[in-house]
Every structure is written in C-alpha cells, then in structure tokens.
C-alpha cells in the first residue's frame, strides 16, 4: 500500500529502503521529549533539531535536514545492527532476549540496550519480517523473470521465494508465529503481512483499487499463512510438498475468483430472466386492468 | 541543626540578607536559597536524621506505591546475568535488591538458558554519599542472607564525582536521589562517563503534576500531610518539609529530559506515573 502510493507520488526513482522502518506503535504512557516530534525513537543530542517535522514526511522517505537526521539515525542504526547480529543466534537460542543479548555482544554494545527495545522479542521478529520483505523487493527489482508465467504461477513463485527466506529459522519459526500472535504485537504483524501481500500482488501486475483489492489481498493472505503453517511440519526433501501445497492453493484461489465471477453472471442472468417474466406479467395485468377499466367507464 | 536557623517565619529577611552575600553560586535547598557548599551538608544532615525510618516513611507517604514504582523502574531496566550495574543514591538498597532478585530468581533461571558463569559476574554497586543510609542497606542485606554475597557491593561516594572507571557500567539507576544533588549536570555527566556504550540511564524521581484538580490535591497532601507525618513517625518535621519543597524545585519533566540530552544521552524518554507525581526518565549512551 505504501509502495504503490509512494510510486504514484514520487515516480519510478523512489527507493523503498527507508519505508520499511515502520513507525513503532506509540505506548500510551510514554511521553517523548518534545524535541522529537514524530517518533519515540528520536534521540536528543543535537541542538539544531528541526521542530517542524510532520508525519507525512516520514512516509516519503525521511528526507530531512542533515543535522536532524544524524542523531536519530544513530540510535536506529545501532538498533538495526544489534538485531541483525542477533538473527545469527536465533537458530540456537530462539527468538528471545538471550539471542538479542548475544547479538549486542557481537556488535560491541552493552546488552543493556536490549532493555530499551519496545516489546523485545517482537522487535526481533518484526525486524526479520521487514528484512525479508526488503530482500523480496530487491530480488524483484534486480530482474526476476516473471514474463513467461501466468499470474497464478507468478504468485506461487513470489510466495515461495519469500517462504524460502524462513528456512534457516524453521526450527524456531513456531515461536516467531506465537510472538506475532500476541495481542500487543498483532497490529504490527498484521501490517507487515498486509504490506507483504500488497507487494506480491503489485509485482504480479494487479492495479485494481476497488472492492476487489481487499478480496485479493485477503485471499492471498490466507494462502500465504496456510502455506507457512504447512511448511512448519513438512520434512520432505527441499520442501517439495510445501510447494505442491502452495500451487494447489493458488490454483484454488484463482478458480475461486473464476467461480465467483461465474456465480455473479449466473445471478445476473437469473435476475434478468425473472425480471423479464415479472415485467411481462405486470404488463399483462396493467393491460387487462386498463381495458376493463375502459369498458366499465363506459357505463 | 542548620535547618532550624533558616525557619520559614523569618525567611523573608533571611533571604534578603542572603541575597546580598550570594553571587552566582547559589542553589536551592527546598524553597530556601543556600550557598552551594552548604547544600550537601544540609542534605547530609537530612538523610542522617531520616536513615533509620526512611523505609517506613516511604511506605506511609506513598501508601506503599513506591514499591510499585521501583518494580517498574527495574522492569524497564531489564537486568541480565553478568551485568555491571550502578545504583546511585540507593542507600537502603531497594532498587539494588530488586535488580539482584530479577537476575537471580529461580523462575528466571528455569525459563531461560542462563550461563551460570555469567551469573557469577553480576555486580551491583550501591553508591551513596551518606554512610548511615549505606549501613541501613547493609543491614537489610544481612537480614536477607546476602551479607557475604559478592554481587552486591556497597560503596560510599558522591554522585557528582564517582570513583568508577569510564565505560564500566551496563546500567545506572538513581531513584529519588537526583533532586538532592547540588549540581544535577555534573551527576548526569558522571553517569554518562561511567556507562558503557549501549548502557542505560534510568532515573526515578518525584516530578511535576499538571492535571488540574489532582494538582491541588497533591499540593495539599504534600504540604499539609507529609510534614505532619514526618513529625509523627520520624520525629523530624523539617526534613520532610525539605523533601516536599525540593520536589517542587526540581526541574519539570521536559526540562530534565533536555538536561539529560545535553549530557550526551540518546533516546531520552520519560514516563509519568500517577499523573506526574513520579516520572521515570530513561536514556541510552551511544
């Protein structure tokens, strides 16, 4: 959604790398220092912070004064670095604070910094989801060949590319899913999945913006989630069963779309037919009534 | 005691004569202006007097809420095994004990894979300028069976001139102590100095309330009830008068946050508890 909107606003030269640093939901009790007007994560260390930052500017890629960008970027960069280093420990330690502490040690920062991440393990999972989305976008941008494929195959291919990124973490992925399902974390994880699904449809070449848009994304969201869960228990070589499952589901989804279309036309036809016969009946009734009325008025 | 000399009835004339002799190095001691050199002495006297009943008075004045506030502070800190932590002005050890428990609790150890060796490395330094307060803390440690525990270290020291090395601490907390410091900027600078890169600064302090009706009630409670309680329970009205006045003189949340930022810290945030009666400021050194 952001990518398509941003494309429309800014044209093809737009880079998406900054977009995916989603604004963290603001907790209700924490009041940020007023110099940081747009997020809780802006550090203060620089006297020349621009106080006129607006929220819309954030979506357009953080194009700001250099002076105000530096202090904010430092903490976020540090956070990103720690999270990236933590991912290496996840297969062994899980999506936990221990992994993040180990990651911070790798970067050379005191593990206390982990205490400052909001919703700690969720921060790690969300970082990973953002990272994968970015990798997917990069893959697509760097010339993934989709021309010779029909839409359903394109969808399959993109979903499989994205799911393959999770393979190294597959042993701990159920934990990540449960973290994403916590009520506190649901808004962000939902948003990330929505962006992912939107990105896939956008790449497949869909430009719809009516009710269809929601239906398509919901259906693809369902396909993605079920395949993801299927993958958790799949131990066929190279996840062949998962890809077969995915292909079937995508085919069903497209067939569903066709079936809905057909059902719509069918209903319209019936409606037309019933309408015609009803109209004919009414006309007949009116005629008889008018002739009868005419005759009776002669009296 | 010096406080009795500066009684409020003759404050007006005293302030005028003081103003004549004061130059730019004056600071506040409650609502009174005193010379800087005197402030730490006066504060020292206050805490020497209240040390033995400090904990009881805390419970009575805050109706036990101070325990929750300290829990929240330690929760925000997220202590980990092997951390080097400094609790400044933490004389009686409330925060230090909570951190110790958080790191060593059996439940935590069972749930997470903790390296036993790193547990040994945990060091919690409790620093206080007042030896009486430290003694109360040491006694409480002994009562809990932690007298000889290597993890808790009781150090006498000044928040404005810490005896610890640069970049040596993972965490720094100061609970209800920073308003008693003569030069807050120096204390913040010292905090910045001793923290490692990525280390966190957390400050729990009584702060300013802005909510209309609640503010009046709070002021009423502070100025009418607390000094009387002090007299009743600790036998010392003046110290608690100083206490409530020093709270009003402390910078409000935003200004204090700015001071923290000026000391070099990043990601400065604050959280109001009980509508602003207490605020937890947190920041990171990067």
Domains in chain B, start-ordered, CATH in brackets? 36-284 (3.40.50.150)
Among A43, A44, A112, the residue with its CB nearest the CB of B83 is A112
Q: What is the pLDDT of residue A166?
A: 93
φ, ψ at A72 (rounded to 5°): -65, -45
Summarised one tens digit per residue, pLDDT across range A42-80 is: 344 333 334 444 444 444 444 444 444 445 568 888 999
In chain A, the N- to C-terminal Cα span, in Å, equals 74
- Which residues are CB-neighbours of B206 under 8 A, at least 6 positions away? B176, B179, B247, B250, B277, B278, B279
Q: Of A8-12, B202-206, B265-269, which gets the smallest average pLDDT?
A: A8-12
Q: What is the pLDDT of residue B39?
A: 82
- Asked whether residue A87 is domain-assigned, the answer is yes
- Asked whether residue A151 is domain-assigned, the answer is yes
Q: Of A230-244, B6-20, B248-262, which gets the smallest average pLDDT?
A: B6-20
Regarding pTM above 0.80, the answer is no
Q: How many domains does chain A have?
A: 1
- State mean pLDDT over A234-256: 89
Contact A110 B76 (CB under 8 A): no
Number of H helices, E strands in chain A: 11, 1
Q: What is the pLDDT of residue A206?
A: 66
For residue B266, list chain A residues with Cβ-Cβ distance below 8 A. 43-45, 71, 74-75
Q: Would you mind telling me the total number of residues written for chain B in this entry?
A: 286
Summarised one tens digit per residue, pLDDT across range B53-81 is: 888 888 888 889 999 999 999 999 989 88
CA proximity to B84, closest of B155, B148, B149, B168:
B168
For residue B69, list chain A residues with Cβ-Cβ distance below 8 A. none
A191 token code pair = 């948003």
Q: Is B286 on the interface with A (CB under 8 A)?
A: yes
Q: Are B182 and B212 within 8 A, CB to CB?
A: no
**pLDDT class for A230, splitting at 50, 70, 90?**
very high
Any known ligand binding at B128?
yes
Any known ligand binding at B187?
no
Any known ligand binding at B27?
no
Which is more confidently placed, A145 or A219? A219
* ipTM, interface predicted TM-score of the complex: 0.77
pLDDT at A291 over 50: yes
Closest Cα of chain B to A33: distance in Å? 6
Q: What is the pLDDT of residue A231?
A: 93
For residue A113, list chain B residues with Cβ-Cβ distance below 8 A. 198-200, 284
Contact B197 A97 (CB under 8 A): no
- Asked whether residue A50 is domain-assigned, the answer is no
**pLDDT class for A128, splitting at 50, 70, 90?**
very high
Among A32, A34, A115, the residue with its CB nearest the CB of B77 is A115
pLDDT at A34 over 50: no
Q: Which residue of B has its CA nearest to A92?
A: B113
Q: What is the pLDDT of residue A44?
A: 41
* CA separation, residue B185 to residues B37, B191, B245 (Å): 16, 10, 20
d(C-alpha B249, C-alpha B100), whole Å: 33
pLDDT at B173 over 90: yes
Contact A35 B286 (CB under 8 A): no
For residue A93, list chain B residues with Cβ-Cβ distance below 8 A. 113
Among A31, A41, A114, the residue with its CB nearest the CB of B270 is A31
**pLDDT class for A150, splitting at 50, 70, 90?**
confident
Q: What is the pLDDT of residue B115?
A: 61
Which is more confidently placed, A147 or B161? B161
d(C-alpha A91, C-alpha B156), whole Å: 45
- Asked whether residue A41 is domain-assigned, the answer is no
**pLDDT class for B12, splitting at 50, 70, 90?**
very low
Q: Is B258 on the interface with A (CB under 8 A)?
A: yes
**pLDDT class for B116, splitting at 50, 70, 90?**
low
Contact B77 A113 (CB under 8 A): no
Portion of chain B with pLDDT greater than 90, in percent: 48
Contact A112 B257 (CB under 8 A): no
- Asked whether residue A14 is domain-assigned, the answer is yes
DSSP A3: H
d(C-alpha A157, C-alpha A137), whole Å: 13
Q: Are B61 and B131 within 8 A, CB to CB?
A: no
Q: Are A259 and A219 within 8 A, CB to CB?
A: no
d(C-alpha B190, C-alpha B186), whole Å: 6
- Asked whether residue A64 is domain-assigned, the answer is no
- Asked whether residue A55 is domain-assigned, the answer is no
Q: Are B6 and B32 within 8 A, CB to CB?
A: yes
Q: What is the pLDDT of residue B117?
A: 61
Summarised one tens digit per residue, pLDDT across range B117-172 is: 666 688 999 999 989 889 999 999 999 988 888 889 999 999 999 999 999 999 99
Among A33, A75, A113, the residue with its CB nearest the CB of B261 is A33
For residue B207, list chain A residues with Cβ-Cβ distance below 8 A. none
pLDDT at B13 over 50: no
Summarised one tens digit per residue, pLDDT across range A106-119 is: 999 999 999 989 88
B221, β-bridge pairs: none
Among B76, B200, B284, the residue with its CB nearest the CB of A75 is B284
pLDDT at A132 over 90: yes
Q: Which residues of A touch B (CB under 8 A)?
A: 29-35, 40-45, 71, 74-75, 78, 93, 96-98, 101, 104, 108-116, 120
Q: Is B111 on the interface with A (CB under 8 A)?
A: no
Q: What is the CATH number of the domain that holds A244?
A: 1.10.357.10
Q: Of A54-68, A181-195, B197-211, which gets the smallest average pLDDT?
A: A54-68
Q: Is B268 on the interface with A (CB under 8 A)?
A: yes
- Asked whether residue A84 is domain-assigned, the answer is yes
pLDDT at B220 over 80: yes
Summarised one tens digit per residue, pLDDT across range B38-50 is: 887 888 887 777 7
- State mean pLDDT over A164-174: 93
Beta carbons within 10 angstroms of residue A274's beta carbon: 10
Mean per-residue pLDDT of chain B? 84
Q: What is the pLDDT of residue B76?
A: 92
Q: What is the pLDDT of residue B113?
A: 61
Which is more confidently placed, A226 or A49? A226
- Enclosing domain of residue A89: 4-35+70-296
């Amino acid at each position: 959604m952001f990518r398509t909107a941003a494309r429309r606003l800014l044209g093809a030269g737009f880079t998406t790398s900054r977009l995916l640093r989603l604004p963290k939901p603001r907790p209700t009790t924490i009041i940020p220092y007023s110099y940081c007007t747009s997020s809780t994560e802006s550090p203060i260390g620089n006297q020349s912070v621009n106080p006129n930052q607006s929220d819309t500017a954030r979506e357009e890629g953080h194009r700001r004064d250099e002076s105000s960008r530096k202090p904010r970027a430092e903490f976020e960069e540090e956070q990103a670095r720690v999270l990236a280093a933590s991912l290496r420990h996840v297969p062994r330690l899980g999506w936990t604070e221990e992994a993040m502490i180990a990651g911070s040690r790798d970067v050379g920062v005191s593990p206390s910094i982990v205490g400052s991440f909001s919703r700690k393990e969720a921060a790690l999972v969300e970082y990973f989801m953002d990272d994968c989305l970015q990798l997917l976008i990069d893959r697509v941008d760097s010339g993934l060949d989709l021309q010779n494929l029909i839409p359903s195959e394109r969808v399959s291919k993109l979903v499989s590319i994205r799911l393959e990124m999770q393979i190294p973490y597959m042993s701990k992925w159920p934990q990540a899913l449960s973290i994403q399902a916590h009520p506190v974390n649901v808004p962000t994880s939902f948003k990330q999945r929505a962006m992912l699904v939107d990105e896939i449809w956008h790449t497949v070449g869909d430009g719809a913006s009516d009710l269809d848009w929601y239906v398509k994304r919901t259906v693809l969201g369902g396909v993605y989630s079920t395949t993801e869960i299927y993958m958790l228990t799949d131990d066929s070589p190279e996840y062949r069963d998962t890809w077969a499952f995915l292909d079937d589901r995508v085919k069903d989804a497209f067939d569903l779309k066709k079936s809905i279309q057909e059902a719509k036309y069918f209903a319209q036809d019936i409606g037309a037919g019933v309408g015609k016969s009803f109209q004919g009946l009414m006309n007949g009734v009116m005629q008889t009534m008018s002739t009868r009325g005419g005759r009776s008025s002669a009296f | 005691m010096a406080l009795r000399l500066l009684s409020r009835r003759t404050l007006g004339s005293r302030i005028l004569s003081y103003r004549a002799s004061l130059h730019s190095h004056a600071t506040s001691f409650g609502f009174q202006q005193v010379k800087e050199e005197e402030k730490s002495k006066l504060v020292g006297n206050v805490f020497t007097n209240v040390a033995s009943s400090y904990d009881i008075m805390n419970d009575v004045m805050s109706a036990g809420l101070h325990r929750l506030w300290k829990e929240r502070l330690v929760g925000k800190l997220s202590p980990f095994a092997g951390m080097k932590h400094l609790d400044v002005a933490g004389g009686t050890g409330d925060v230090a004990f909570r951190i110790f428990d958080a790191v060593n609790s059996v439940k935590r150890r069972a749930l997470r894979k903790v390296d036993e060796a790193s547990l040994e490395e945990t060091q919690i330094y409790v620093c206080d300028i007042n030896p009486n307060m430290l003694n109360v803390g040491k006694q409480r440690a002994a009562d809990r069976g932690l007298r000889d525990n290597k993890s808790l270290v009781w150090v006498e020291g000044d928040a404005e001139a810490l005896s610890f090395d640069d970049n040596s601490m993972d965490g720094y907390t100061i609970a209800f102590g920073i308003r008693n410091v003569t030069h807050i900027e120096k204390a913040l600078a010292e905090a910045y100095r001793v923290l490692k890169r990525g280390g966190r600064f957390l400050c729990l302090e009584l702060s300013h309330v802005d909510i209309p009706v609640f503010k009046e009630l709070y002021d009423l409670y502070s100025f009418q009830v607390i000094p009387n309680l002090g007299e009743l329970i600790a036998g010392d009205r003046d110290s608690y008068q100083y206490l409530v006045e020093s709270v009003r003189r402390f910078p409000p949340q935003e200004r204090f946050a700015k001071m923290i930022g000026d000391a070099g810290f990043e990601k400065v945030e604050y959280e109001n508890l009980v509508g602003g009666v207490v605020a937890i400021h947190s920041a990171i050194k990067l």
